[in-house]
Chains A and B, each alone.
Chain A
């Protein structure tokens, strides 16, 4: 079985500075994969490049097709979807219009089903469907961003820091939904600073530092790793020094 998304030996540079250096990663069907790492490690850069927002060197395959010549729009049509760090909602349009545009690339009949699915995942969005996206609370905006991405019935959903700036209780809600997505047949590639929550729901994890993957494996094993515990899961245990 080949992976749904496979990225091999990818380099991404901003001018002369290489932000991502030789990274390889795979996401399979029905799998939640997370990338954890510090601010500026290159996680967002990697997601953006996979989506086609930034140019990259290396090979990216999605659903058996080489994505080298595909634009963002083609990748969306192929079933890849990104919920970016800044959510990029249509702030002056209402919730329903935002969702409707999420289904821009798919047939009308399918869109109707997508609406049902999204509203059942996020009942709050249905209550707010006539409200302008820009006036929603942070948590609702994150739900809308995810909902908009799901409207297009993607095979793989990439989430960039979905818990960013949200109250812990909403974070729990969001993460529960991410778990439900896997059950519904959507794979998820999750970039998170909240490593603890991410490792709890993920099947596999990659640890990124300064543009490289320094560790990868089953999420459970990563969570138990001493170094990861020290660097990403809160503070060091007493008397221990970070390496």
Chain B
């Protein structure tokens, strides 16, 4: 085997793996806090990527309007569920979060969008839009059924995926899009070339892992999220609003998804439905990580990326088969190691 090819494949795999790691981290985060298995994670990726790509061409993506529409629905739900104990502070909060915030983002997008808008502004706008969508998605679809079983949440999650993917087609069309690179720098080290883009991928992945670690380890909000994950009732008993925890978890996940999308859209053409498969690979990593461990998930994600790179070279036809079968030996190992006495579930 040729060393150059091998190094190249390895590099390619690690770049993709880093993206899967980000998505896997988000999935673990959301599952831990809300018990939702976040199938629409892939849509956050495409929404982020394609909103950014459209903004780069000077157009306003439909996602901006979607955020406003979802905000209105969220507002309705907030008022409806609080109808017995409406008070000014609650209404003010609902107006601010559900109406003013998405409307401001939308208006800002219309005001700033143009062919000459700097990349950084476009990125910020795309992130804001997707963050709003993620937040409202939890409020609308999951908060009312937060107490139900993982299965019901999972199916609702699938429903969200279908709806968002369909909307993706409406907003972005069936044609694929590419976005401008974040930087055009290129470095060479021996036979390997590092583009600025792939360096950004590594850098941001590492930065995110560190940021998440700091957030969960040291901030009170982060600790409250962890506490919600460890013991829901315990969290409520100290006054942590688990609904708020859920919203924050979704907000973070949508941000991470959108960033992943923005990172890869300059490298590969993304279509409105590409996100699903990318998200699922983050999933494989998350499952290998047991849906609890962040470092293990990151390592597993790199592994998934590398396996994918190598199998696309040697057996490109069976690339997906191999990647998704990867999970079976892991599951076997997990089931062998499973404790004799299971916790009972309802």
| Chain A in direct contact with chain B (Cβ < 8 angstroms) | yes
Q: Which of A51, A73, A89, A91 contacts B240 (CB 8 A)?
A: A73
Report if A93-B238 is in contact (Cβ < 8 Å); known contacts: A84-B233, A88-B231.
no
Q: Is residue B248 within 8 Å, beta carbon to beta carbon, of the partner chain? A: no
Binds A, one of B45-53, B218-226, B274-282, B309-317: B218-226
Q: Mark A67-99, 1 if CB is under 8 A from B, else 0.
A: 001111100110001101000111111000100
Please tell me if A152 contacts chain B, counting CB pairs below 8 Å. Answer: yes
Type the 1/0 row for B220-248, where 1 means its CB is closer than 8 Å to any CB of A: 10011011001101111111110000000
A149–chain B nearest beta-carbon distance, Å? 8
Q: Which residues 237-280 of B sit at the A interface, judged by CB distance below 8 A?
A: 237-241
Q: How distant is the Cα of A6 from the Cα of B64 in the complex, in angstroms?
A: 50
B241: chain A residues within 8 A (beta carbon): 71, 73
B224 in complex: contacting residue of A70, A77, A104, A149, CB < 8 Å: A104
Contact in complex: B227, A90 (CB < 8 Å): yes
A contact residues, total (Cβ < 8 Å) = 28
Say if the beta carbon of A204 comes within 8 Å of chain B: no
B226 and A93 form a contact (CB under 8 A): yes
A92 CA to B227 CA, complexed, in Å: 9
Are the C-beta atoms of A82 and B239 separated by less than 8 Å? no
Minimal Cβ-Cβ distance residue in A for B82:
A69
At the interface, yes or no: B345 with Cβ under 8 Å from chain A? no
Q: Let me know if B220 and A90 touch, CB within 8 A.
A: no
A11 at interface by CB-CB < 8 Å: no
* A77→B226 contact, CB < 8 A: no
Contact call A90/B236, Cβ cutoff below 8 A: no
B contact patch SS? helix
Set of chain B residues within 8 Å of A91, measured between Cβ atoms: 230-231
Distance in Å from the Cβ of B197 to the closest Cβ of chain A?
Answer: 38
A104 touches B240 (CB 8 A): yes
A53 to B147, CA, bound (A): 12
Whether A93 contacts B223 by the Cβ 8 Å rule is yes
CB pair A73–B236 under 8 Å, yes or no, is yes
CB distance from B80 to the nearest CB of A (A): 14
Complex CA gap A4/B179 in Å reads: 63
Taking a contact as CB atoms under 8 Å apart, the answer to whether B238 and A148 are in contact is yes
In the complex, chain A residues whose CB is within 8 Å of the CB of B220: 100-101, 104
Instruction: Check B237 against A76 for contact (C-beta < 8 Å).
Output: yes
- Is A105 an interface position by the 8 A CB rule? yes
Q: Would you call A81 and B223 a contact (CB within 8 A)?
A: no
Q: Which residues of A contact B236 (CB under 8 A)?
A: 53, 72-73, 76
* In the complex, B335 has a CB within 8 A of chain A: no
User: Within the assembled complex, what's the spacing in Å between the Cα atoms of A208 and B259?
Assistant: 58
- The reply to whether B237 and A93 contact each other, CB–CB distance below 8 Å, is no
Q: Is A139 an interface residue (CB 8 A)?
A: no
Determine the residue in chain A with the shortest Cβ distance to B217: A97
Tell me the bound Cα distance from A27 to B227 in angstroms. 31
Q: Are B231 and A90 in contact, CB atoms less than 8 angstroms apart?
A: yes
Chain A interface (Cβ < 8 Å from any Cβ of B)? 51, 53, 69-73, 76-77, 81-82, 84, 88-93, 97, 100-102, 104-105, 148-149, 151-152
Chain B residues in the interface with A (C-beta under 8 A)? 84-85, 220, 223-224, 226-227, 230-231, 233-241
A53-B233, A70-B85 given. 13 additional CB < 8 A pairs? A72-B237, A73-B240, A84-B233, A84-B237, A88-B234, A93-B223, A93-B226, A93-B227, A104-B220, A105-B239, A148-B238, A149-B237, A152-B239
What would be 26 A-B contacts, judged by CB atoms less than 8 Å apart? A69-B84, A72-B237, A73-B240, A76-B236, A76-B238, A77-B239, A88-B231, A88-B233, A88-B234, A89-B234, A90-B227, A91-B230, A91-B231, A92-B226, A93-B227, A93-B230, A97-B223, A101-B220, A101-B240, A104-B220, A104-B224, A104-B240, A105-B238, A148-B238, A149-B238, A151-B238
Nearest 3 CB-CB pairings of A with B:
A69-B85, A88-B234, A76-B239
